[in-house]
Amino acid sequence: MTAPLPWLDAALPAELIGREHGWFTNYRRYPVFSAPWARGRLRSSMAIVGLSFAVLLPVVLSSAPAERTWGALFALLLWLCLPLFAGPALGVWVRRQAWPAAREGAALVAAVLAASAAAMLFDQLAAEPIKQVIAERSGAIDPKGKRQKVVMSIGINVSTPEDAASAARSAGQSGNDAVASAVNLGSKAAVTLLLAGGLALRGWRRERDGLEALRQERALAEAQAQRREAELRLSVLAAQVEPHFLFNTLAGVRSAIATDPARASEMIDRLVEYLRAAIPRLRSDGSAQATVGAQFEIVRAYLGLMAARMPRLDFSLQAEPALLKANCPPLMLISLAENAVKHGVEMKIGPVHVEVRAERSADGRLALTVEDDGAGFGSSQSGSGLGLSNIRERLHQLHGERAALELRSRAGGGVSATLTVPLELPQ
């Protein structure tokens, strides 16, 4: 037998099949005509067959021994089980060939029709001999050695067309036997087609279309996430090396040279330190440096440069040593620090303190906080700017509901921004 394909026996995405599946419909979580699907479908179908026969059995036992339709029941059981086994089994074999969609679809249709045809041939050619043998062994035969023709109806007729026609004639009933036989034959063909997987063919088509639509949707979401990441990186790069940023820094150096050479020298050293920390990380994809410690280096260099330009700025960074190795989304912490300087420090006259912390939240997540005692929301923004919106969207892409960005006013003035993400430490 062809080796199973890993994707074929794996559960389908929850977006395609939903999440609520009990014991009876659990097989629908798997691809149509896969081995888990076939086993689960057979289990559910046999439960229905078993229940039906449990209802019929007392009726058979209540009849006289010579009239018990054991042969009809046994032939009916074989007729039901043949398409239930054969259709899905052939379908599983077809799918494991990994043929192109058009060829696979045609082969699945052929498999279902073949299983249905086999069941019909059994009913027409083998059912009567089986019934005769069982009748002879159970004593349900007439003096000529023929089995008794008994019709048993409980809502449905469980006898063959020949049984029904013979019983009708023996009872003196008239009717169009040819039409009745044709209708009965058509009904049986429809039943065997359904048992062999007729409806599953439609499910196979819907599954393929759904998987393709889901693949396109995920590709689009990934492309959008990459675009937002690129926009965030570009916005951070622009904020860090845009001309007015460099011009303001160099203008401050030029002014301090005449009045305070020591401060001018410090500003140059801080600028070099800052560019050395920031530029290499912006040139990479950020994954290798995506730790709290690496992001703290950039923020420390940035705030050091700002403090050299604006001596009224004081800052501090605090973190548990173990948390410095934790994973951290790149480029977000520096964005919050820039926000604090732009809207908190620059908009306030007088001393301002900026504090950056990394700590464990009450629920065990990583909390990165940037807070200042600057101008606050009233003189600048309300936490809904484009940069913050990009951060929130990126957090949702990375961690869903497990991550958040919260901005709130501080009681003593200023703003506190907290970035909360799942705590992921190296093993």
Secondary structure (DSSP) of 257-297: HHH-HHHHHHHHHHHHHHHHHHHHHHHS-SSTT-BHHHHHH
Best mean pLDDT range from 66-80, 262-276, 372-386: 262-276
CB 32 within 8 A of CB 39: no
| Degrees to nearest 5, angle at CA 377 with 371 and 382 | 100
Q: Which range among 36-40, 65-69, 136-140 has the greatest average pLDDT?
A: 36-40
Q: From its phi and psi, is residue 349 left (phi > 0), alpha (psi between -120 and 50) or beta?
A: beta
At residue 327, what are phi and psi to the nearest 5 degrees?
-65, 145
Q: In the block, which residue shows the tokens 């940023």?
A: 245
Is residue 4 predicted with pLDDT exceeding 70? no
Question: How large is the average pLDDT for residues 78-94?
Answer: 90
Q: Considering the chain, what is the average pLDDT of its residues? A: 79
Per-residue CA distances from 321 to 21, 114, 301, 332, 426 (Å): 46, 69, 19, 20, 13
In the prediction, which pLDDT does 128 show? 78
Q: So what's the pLDDT on residue 30?
A: 87
Residue 407, pLDDT score: 93
Question: Is the predicted pLDDT of residue 250 greater than 60, yes or no?
Answer: yes
- The candidate with the shortest Cα–Cα distance to 184, out of 256, 127, 248, 266, is 127
The answer to whether the beta carbons of residues 27 and 37 sit under 8 Å apart is: yes
Residue 100 has pLDDT above 70, yes or no: yes
What is the CB-side half-sphere exposure of residue 393 using CA atoms within 13 A? 18
pTM comes to 0.48
DSSP 349: S
Q: Is the pLDDT of residue 405 over 80?
A: yes
Q: What is the pLDDT of residue 55?
A: 81
Q: What CATH code is assigned to 242-421?
A: 3.30.565.10
Q: Where are the domains of the chain?
A: 14-215, 242-421
